[in-house]
Amino acid sequence: MDLRTKDVEALGRRIAAHQDAALERLARPRAADRLQAIYRKEAALSLRASAAPSSRRVGLALAAACVAAAFALVFVFALSRPGDPLTYRVEGSPGAVGRWVAADASRVGLDFSDGSRVDLAPGTRARVTEVGPLGAGVLLERGSLRVRVVHRGDTRWVVAGGPFEVHVIGTEFDVTWDTEAEELAVSMIAGRVRVLGPCVEPSGRAVAAPESIRLTCAAPRAAAPPAADPRASPSARAPALLPSASAAAPASPASPPARAAAPLAEAHSAGWRAHLAAGKLGDALADVELVGVDTVLGRAGGAELVDLGSAARLARKPDLAARFYEAARQRFAGSDAAAAAAYHLGRMAFDGRGAWAEAERWFAVYLAERPRGALAPEALGRSLECARNLRLHARARELAARYLAAYPNGAHAGLAAALAGGAD
């Protein structure tokens, strides 16, 4: 039968495809065992060839070479396949992707299977958002990390803090995310990183040892008026506190304490604004509770309400935080503050209660109102996690495609790629 060259080539391709499929189904032994098998096979064939008559020696040698080449190809094929994702341990115990890790009174260390290590300073809260064969993604909610990534040619690590992402190949550095000041600080010990963010040039900011930088996307707050001194004389107080002419009637015996209480309340009212301007969220919240939460809910500006919500959230008062965030949305609908409040409401549902459906709804509100906002990468990434946790596969693939199109190198890019490919 006369076979044409192209028919032979087509047959060869089909045979190769079947061989590749068969190899995929085989359980692969360890690399060292595969090498030993190649060496043993070659040695056995060589011994048989040396004992055979000279007429067969050349043929057996060629056969041995072919077998060795075939095993070598299988070995190279196996090594070229992607490796298993990294694993990590938290102070010796197995770690889980997505689980928050908090360092309270002492430092906590995360040890990764590639030799890399992340240390959480006291007061820090972070979580590993994804792991892959080439690296991991770490989300820093607050506090400071000491990161040491083992250098390899194709290593890919991302440390995210607020709207910023620190892309790492192999290096050692300290990174701090200040939630109150909304500021990222990076201090290089060795190597080089690149910081990406909405208020950084598109190519990112390269930082090399021993350089240190501080970055923020927050607009500077206006200075608050000085707090009134309750001990000051009436003439030194604000005009609004002076009695009007129509109120100049003789005071009742109970009026002096009442007059003393008014400037004290006003002092606390001015005080919480001063504390917010200085970034002292805890002190601001304490003053607000003295003035009266209901009073402040009706008087504070949008950004102030969001800051007070964050103060209450960090003080572990989620119900009070929700009141501030909801007030920002009701009183300042359509503003940046209202959008930020939606994000933080989603964040509380996500972190505090694992209420994935509620969290995803709030993140979707933020993305609808501020699709290119500073918090958009994190809102979209967390939405992706919510869809995965809820096993909404079609929704997860849709969000994964959006994330990869907008943030191909983002902190959730590995998870997005896996979900876009149909992984659960």
List the pLDDT tens digit at each of the 424 positions of the chain: 455 655 656 666 666 555 555 545 554 455 445 545 544 554 554 445 444 444 455 454 445 444 444 444 444 444 334 568 889 999 888 988 878 888 877 899 999 998 999 999 988 888 898 888 888 889 888 889 999 998 877 778 889 887 788 888 778 889 998 876 778 999 989 888 888 877 777 678 888 888 899 988 765 544 444 444 444 443 333 333 333 333 333 344 444 444 444 444 454 566 888 887 777 778 888 888 888 889 888 888 888 898 898 888 888 888 999 999 999 999 999 898 899 999 999 988 988 888 899 999 999 999 999 888 888 888 898 899 999 999 988 998 999 999 989 888 777 888 888 888 776 5
Rounded Cα distance between 361 and 289, Å, is 30
Which residues pair with residue 67 across a beta bridge?
none
pLDDT of residue 83: 67
* Residue among 190, 184, 202 nearest 148 (CA): 190
| Contacts with 65 (C-beta within 8 Å, 6 or more apart), sequence order | none
For 179-335, list the strands marked E by DSSP. Answer: 183-190, 192-196, 205-208, 212-216
pLDDT of residue 345: 94
pLDDT of residue 220: 53
Quickly tell me which residue has 């499929």 as its tokens. Answer: 21
pLDDT of residue 359: 92
Rounded Cα distance between 301 and 140, Å, is 28
pLDDT of residue 275: 80
pLDDT of residue 155: 79
State the pTM of this model.
0.49
19-25: which pairs have CB atoms within 8 A and are 24 or more residues apart?
23/74, 23/77
Q: Are 386 and 356 in contact (CB under 8 A)?
A: yes
pLDDT of residue 13: 62
